[in-house]
Amino acid sequence: MRKSIVAVTAVGSALIVSAPPSSAAPSAEGSITKEAFGKLADGTKVDRYTLTNGRTRVRILTYGGIIQTLEVPDRHGHRGNVVLGFRTLKDYVDKNGGPYFGALIGRYANRIAKGRFTLDGKTYQLAINNGPNSLHGGLKGFNTKVWKAEPVRGKDSVGLRLTYTSVDGEEHYPGTLKTTVTYTLTRKNALQIGYHATTDKATIVNLTNHSYFNLAGEGSGVAYDHRLQLNADRYTPVDDTSIPLGPIASVKGTPFDFISPHAIGERIRDNDPQLLIGHGYDHNYVLNKPKPNALTLAAKVTDPRSGRVMEASTTQPGVQLYTANFLDGTLVGTSGHAYRQGDAFCLETQHFPDSPNKPNFPSTVLRPGQAFDATTVYAFSTK
């Protein structure tokens, strides 16, 4: 691969890192820029990086590795922001513990029953922060950490490599976990997220990104008319605290069947006990895979209004479909609109919730000498 020469210029407070001219595709030149986004109470600086390929633009914060905005063209070529988020660092610090807009989630995305698990004969107790359970890495999960950032440039892409080392015992998880997450925006309008983690003691790990998508545009109201197709014949039904019951169930004949496309809202108010528990969809789907860890299509979502299409592919075994059921109109987002129930949908690619307590689920145990690696791609097009 050709080593690129990067020109760095200071513009106001922003540091512009511009791409070298490329003869291969002169139309869509990629760029990576960096600007100050604010400071935490302890003085730690937070930066915002903007990656663009000329058509799509994504803004990523070093705080929580948060995707703040993701601007994608509609069928007329007009760019619109398709993810929910906040305007200021203060909002993310004060309010993002509920929704986790756009954030990296770790060490364990989703729930662990009663915050407890046993590994190699030792029982660990995590913080309880969601009913009787532990959710999304505990009180100060990866979504609250300031990640080290390094721009990365490929032949056909621009990217940002984020690293964070979680020390042994942080949030009561064992082992020092070194995590790298790489966001890559390709020339073909795909946002790829690569996850990599290693440990020095046996531990558990489950990493995801918690973006809330609305392909008609952030702040445009409910996303119930989006058509969703999920490549999953099965899902993991939950108890009334949203912990999987254990057995894996078929979606056939239930409102959870998205094998062929359905509008998200078509059956969301059906009198189905699982939908009532989640206040809508808030469930893990077991992805159909020819073999474990294969990068395969998980979901395809089409917005009839804008014509935007998003295809989510992943190497992970599951995806949490969460239809923003707990947004209640009390949070105001980037465009100044209040967010309400159903205003977005999440497709959190992941290992199954509560895997450490479910021997029949794919293992989330990571040992020294092993690496956790996963890839998720959100690819955008129009129809």
Active-site residue identified among 71, 218, 348, 351 = 348
Active-site residue identified among 210, 226, 283, 351 = 210
d(CA 138, CA 277): 22
d(CA 78, CA 71): 9
DSSP state of 317: S
Shortest Å, Cβ 100 to ligand BGC: 5
Shortest Å, Cβ 135 to ligand BGC: 6
**In angstroms, what CA-CA distances link 306 with 169, 225, 292, 348, 371?**
47, 11, 35, 23, 40
Residues of this chain that interact with ligand BGC (CB under 6 A) are 99-100, 110, 242, 282, 320, 322, 326, 348
- Indicate the residue among 98 and 368 with the shorter CB distance to ligand BGC: 98
Binding-site residues, in ranges, read 110-111, 210-212, 282
d(CA 336, CA 314): 32
CB 258 within 8 Å of CB 251? yes
Burial letters 94-105, b for 16+ CB under 10 A, else e: eebbebbbbbbb
- Do you find a cis peptide bond into 305, omega within 30 degrees of 0? no
- Indicate the residue among 101 and 173 with the shorter CB distance to ligand BGC: 101
To the query of whether residue 348 is one of the catalytic residues in this protein, the response is: yes
Residues 6+ apart with CB under 8 A from 173: 107, 108, 124, 126, 166, 203, 204
Give residue 374's identity as a one-letter amino acid code.
A
Shortest Å, Cβ 206 to ligand BGC: 11
Quickly count: other Cβ atoms within 10 Å of residue 74's Cβ: 18
DSSP state of 62: S
- Indicate the residue among 250 and 326 with the shorter CB distance to ligand BGC: 326
- Indicate the residue among 133 and 302 with the shorter CB distance to ligand BGC: 133
Shortest Å, Cβ 64 to ligand BGC: 13
d(CA 195, CA 208): 8
Residue 274: phi and psi, rounded to 5, are: -70, -40
- Indicate the residue among 138 and 159 with the shorter CB distance to ligand BGC: 138
d(CA 111, CA 129): 10
- Indicate the residue among 154 and 255 with the shorter CB distance to ligand BGC: 255
Binding-site residues for beta-D-galactose, in ranges, read 110-111, 210-212, 282
The owner of tokens 């909002």 is: 91
Shortest Å, Cβ 284 to ligand BGC: 8
The owner of tokens 């497709």 is: 347
Residues with active-site annotation: 210, 348
